[in-house]
């Protein structure tokens, strides 16, 4: 049985930066949680951030991979550097996956942690660019296949 780590916010947990849980949770997520195939994790909260919190974006080129390499950073619009918190949360997510034998992850798109295809451009103007968040990049570097909520059909096929 394949197990998947799911961004806690996608299951309706109140961990999002704005302190508002998602209104709708995909029924498949509920089913996977119920049968023990899914485990929830929020790398931002596990890294030490409160809920609610100021929005953060990756500042600099290269997305989460560049943050991991030390050539970009994660910051709030006010300039507070949260890079270490995001790195810590990503490392904890990887450790969680290893401990639980998880090789699949369903992560929240556009997040500076979890974005798998899209992130914001670091100017805090709502502009989306191709890229991965810090956690998504670290998980993929270690062989964990990452899906966004838009790819839940594909994830369901992979999980069997």
Q: What's the pLDDT at 160?
A: 86
Could you identify the residue written with the tokens 């996956």?
A: 97
Residues 76-89: pLDDT tens digits? Answer: 999 999 999 999 99
Percent of all residues in the chain with a pLDDT value above 90, rounded to a whole number = 97
Arithmetic mean of pLDDT over the chain: 97
Mean pLDDT value across residues 117-136? 97
155: closest CA among 11, 32, 12? 32
Q: What's the pLDDT at 23?
A: 86
The pTM of this model reads: 0.97
- For residue 147, how far is the Cα from the chain centroid? 10
């Amino acid at each position: 049985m394949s197990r998947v780590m799911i961004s806690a916010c996608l299951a309706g947990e109140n961990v999002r930066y704005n302190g508002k849980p998602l209104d709708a949770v995909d029924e498949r997520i509920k089913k996977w949680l119920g049968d023990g195939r899914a485990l929830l994790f929020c790398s931002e909260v596990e890294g030490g951030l409160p809920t609610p919190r100021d929005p953060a974006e990756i500042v600099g080129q290269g997305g989460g991979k560049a943050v991991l390499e030390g050539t970009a950073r994660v910051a709030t619009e006010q300039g507070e550097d949260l890079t270490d918190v995001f790195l810590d949360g990503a490392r904890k997510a990887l450790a969680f996956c290893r401990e639980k034998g998880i090789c699949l992850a369903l992560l929240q798109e556009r997040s500076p942690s979890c974005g798998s295809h899209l992130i914001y451009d670091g100017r805090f103007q709502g502009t989306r660019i191709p890229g991965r968040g810090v956690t998504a990049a670290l998980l993929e570097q270690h062989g964990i296949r990452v899906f966004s909520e838009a790819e839940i059909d594909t994830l369901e096929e992979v999980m069997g």
